[in-house]
C-alpha cells in the first residue's frame, strides 16, 4: 500500500511539474510573440519615419509637436490628480485636527477637575481616606471608588497625552502636504505654459501644411499616402500577431456574436459616415465622431492592444485585436492610456480624444476591420 501511495504521489508531483513547465513555456512563447510584434512595428515606424524626413518635413514637424503636446497633456492630467489628492488629504487632516482639538479641550476640563479634587485631598490621599472612615464596609466601598477615580484620571491623562502627540504629528503632516501641493501647482502652471506654447507651434505648423496642399490633387495624394501607410501597418501587425492566440474568456461573447450590440467608443455626433465621400474618389472607411478634448475613449470589446503610437494622418492611434480576424482602430487621440501588449476589457478607457494627426477639432476616427478589410461600424454598433 505504501509503495502504491508513493507511486501516486510521484505521479502527482510529475503532473504538477509538467503543468508548471507548460505554463512557463506558454508565457515565454507569448512574450516572444509580443516582442516579435513590437520589433515588426518598430521596423516599419523607422521606415515610415525615414520617408517622412525625405519627403515631407512639415508632417514630421507636426508629428513632433503633437507628440510633445500629448506628453504635456498627460503630465497635466497626472499633476492635476496629485493636486486633487493633496487637497482631499488636507481636508481630511483638517477634520482630524478639529476633532482632536475638541477632544483635548474636553480632556483639559476633565483633568482640571481631577487635579482639583486631588489637591483637596492633599498628597497622602489614600491615608486621609483611611483615617476619615470608621465603618469597615463603608471604607471598602470608598477605597473601591477611589481606585476607579485614580484609574479614570490616569486613563484621561494618557488619552490627553496621546491626542496632543497626534495633533503635533498631524500639524507636521499638514505642513508637508501643503509643500507638496504648492510644488504640484508650480508643475501644473509650468506644464500649462508649455502646452500653450506647443499649441501655438502646432497651429503654425498646421497652417503651413495646409498651405502646402492648396489644390485638391495635393490633398488627395496626402490622404492616399496616409491610407497606404495605414494598410502597410495593418498588414505588418496582422502578420506579426497572427499566431498570438485570442481566446474568448469564459462567459464572454465573441466579437462576431455581438454584431449590432457593440458599445460606441465615444458619445458624439457622427461627422462622417462609412462610405461617404472624403476627397475625390476616396471614401471614409470608418466613422469620424465628434468629441470633447480629453474625453475618454472606450474599447468596444475585449481585446489586446497591438499598436499604440503615432501614425501620420491618424495622430495618436491605438489598434485592438479581438481575435477571429477582427480589429478595431481609434485615431486622433490626445493621449494613449494603453500600451502595445496590454489586454483590455469592453468599455475600458484606452485613450482620450484629441485632434492629433492634423485635425482642426477634437474627434475620434473609428474603424472595424474583418480579416483586414474595413466594414461599416454602424452595422456592428448598438443603438445609443
**Helix, strand, coil shares, percent, the chain, to 5:** 60, 15, 20
Structure confidence at residue 124 (pLDDT): 46
Mean pLDDT score across all residues of the chain: 77
For residues 160-176, one letter each, b for 16 or more C-beta atoms within 10 angstroms of the residue's C-beta and e for the rest, the string is beebeebbeeeeeebee
CB 193 within 8 A of CB 137: no
Q: Are residue 159 and residue 262 in the same domain, yes or no?
A: no
Based on the domain organization, do 194 and 274 belong to the same domain?
Answer: no
Task: Give the model's pLDDT for residue 301.
Answer: 95
Same domain? 99 vs 181:
yes
Tell me the residue range of the domain where 120 lies: 79-208
Q: Please state the three-class secondary structure of 144-213 as a single string.
A: HHHHHHHHHHHHHHHHHHHHHHHHHHHHHHHHHHHHHHHHHHHHHHHHHHHHHHHHHHHHHHHHHHHHHC
171 and 252, same domain (yes or no): no
Hey, how many other C-beta atoms are within 10 angstroms of the C-beta on 35?
A: 12
Among 379, 277, 384, residue whose Cα is nearest residue 326: 379
Same domain, yes or no, for 200 and 226? Answer: no
Instruction: Looking at the structure, tell me whether residues 202 and 222 fall in a common domain.
Output: no
Between these two residues, 125 and 353, which has the higher pLDDT value?
353
> What is the band of 10 on the pLDDT scale with cuts at 50, 70, 90?
low
**Are 137 and 229 in the same domain?**
no
Find the mean pLDDT for residues 71-87: 85
pLDDT reported for residue 290: 96
Beta-carbon neighbour count of residue 139 at 10 Å?
A: 14
Mean pLDDT, residues 121-137: 50
Distances (CA, A) of 345 to 183, 259, 304: 36, 17, 9
373 neighbors 339 (Cβ within 8 angstroms): no
Domain harbouring 277, CATH code: 2.70.70.10
Question: Domain boundary at 208, 239, 268, which?
Answer: 208
Give the closest residue to 294 by CA, choosing from 23, 72, 32: 72
Last residue of a domain, one of 177, 208, 239: 208
- What is the per-residue pLDDT across 262-297, written as a single tens digit (0 to 9) for each? 999 999 999 999 999 887 778 899 999 999 999 999
Dihedral (C-alpha) 39, 45, 46, 47: value to the nearest 10 degrees? Answer: 110
Same domain, yes or no: 223 and 305: yes
Beta bridge partners of 99: none
339, 288: one domain: yes
pLDDT digits (tens, 9 = 90+) for 133-187: 544 555 455 545 556 556 666 676 777 677 777 777 877 888 888 888 888 888 8
**Overall domain count for the chain:** 2
The C-alpha atoms of residue 94 and residue 178 are separated, in whole angstroms, by: 12
238 and 350 together in one domain: yes
Query: 202 and 224: one domain?
Result: no
Whether residue 191 lies inside any domain: the answer is yes
The region of weakest confidence among 219-228, 268-277, 310-319 is: 219-228
Rounded Cα–Cα distance for residues 315 and 307 (Å): 12
- List phi, psi (to 5°) of 308: -150, 90
C-alpha 197 chain-centroid distance? 26
Identify any residues that bridge with 236 across adjacent strands, giving them in sequence order. none
pLDDT tens digits, 240-264: 666 666 555 555 788 999 999 999 9
Residues 176, 227 within the same domain: no
**Domain boundary at 208, 243, 263, which?**
208
Decide if 63 is inside a domain: no
Amino acid at each position: 500500500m505504501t509503495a502504491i501511495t508513493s507511486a501516486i504521489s510521484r505521479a502527482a508531483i510529475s503532473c504538477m511539474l509538467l503543468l508548471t513547465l507548460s505554463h512557463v513555456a506558454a508565457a515565454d512563447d507569448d512574450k516572444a510573440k509580443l516582442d516579435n510584434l513590437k520589433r515588426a512595428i518598430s521596423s516599419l515606424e523607422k521606415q515610415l519615419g525615414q520617408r517622412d524626413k525625405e519627403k515631407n518635413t512639415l508632417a514630421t514637424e507636426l508629428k513632433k509637436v503633437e507628440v510633445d503636446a500629448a506628453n504635456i497633456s498627460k503630465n497635466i492630467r497626472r499633476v492635476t490628480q496629485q493636486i486633487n489628492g493633496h487637497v482631499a488629504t488636507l481636508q481630511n487632516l483638517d477634520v482630524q485636527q478639529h476633532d482632536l482639538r475638541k477632544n483635548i479641550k474636553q480632556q483639559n476640563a476633565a483633568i482640571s477637575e481631577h487635579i482639583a479634587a486631588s489637591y483637596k485631598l492633599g498628597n497622602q490621599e489614600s491615608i486621609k481616606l483611611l483615617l476619615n472612615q470608621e465603618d469597615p464596609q463603608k471604607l471598602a466601598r470608598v477605597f473601591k471608588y477611589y481606585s476607579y477615580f485614580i484609574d479614570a484620571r490616569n486613563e484621561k491623562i494618557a488619552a490627553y497625552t496621546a491626542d496632543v502627540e497626534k495633533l503635533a504629528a498631524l500639524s507636521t503632516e499638514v505642513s508637508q502636504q501643503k509643500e507638496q501641493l504648492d510644488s504640484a501647482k508650480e508643475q501644473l502652471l509650468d506644464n500649462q505654459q508649455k502646452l500653450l506654447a506647443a499649441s501655438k507651434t502646432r497651429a503654425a505648423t498646421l497652417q503651413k501644411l495646409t498651405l502646402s496642399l492648396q489644390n485638391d490633387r495635393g490633398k488627395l495624394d496626402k490622404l492616399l499616402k496616409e491610407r497606404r501607410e495605414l494598410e502597410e501597418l495593418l498588414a505588418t501587425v496582422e502578420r506579426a500577431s497572427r499566431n498570438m492566440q485570442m481566446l474568448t474568456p469564459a462567459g464572454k461573447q465573441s466579437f462576431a456574436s455581438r454584431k449590432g450590440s457593440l458599445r460606441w467608443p465615444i458619445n458624439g455626433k457622427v461627422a462622417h459616415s462609412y462610405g461617404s465621400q472624403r476627397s475625390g474618389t476616396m471614401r471614409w472607411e470608418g466613422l469620424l465622431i465628434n468629441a470633447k478634448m480629453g474625453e475618454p475613449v472606450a474599447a468596444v470589446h475585449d481585446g489586446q492592444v497591438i499598436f499604440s503610437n503615432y501614425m501620420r494622418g491618424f495622430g495618436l492611434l491605438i489598434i485592438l485585436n479581438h481575435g477571429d480576424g477582427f480589429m478595431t482602430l481609434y485615431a486622433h487621440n490626445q493621449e494613449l492610456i494603453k500600451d502595445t501588449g496590454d489586454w483590455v476589457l469592453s468599455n475600458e478607457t484606452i485613450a482620450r480624444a484629441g485632434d492629433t494627426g492634423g485635425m482642426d477639432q477634437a474627434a475620434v476616427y473609428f474603424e472595424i476591420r474583418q480579416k483586414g478589410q474595413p466594414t461599416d461600424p454602424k452595422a456592428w454598433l448598438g443603438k445609443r
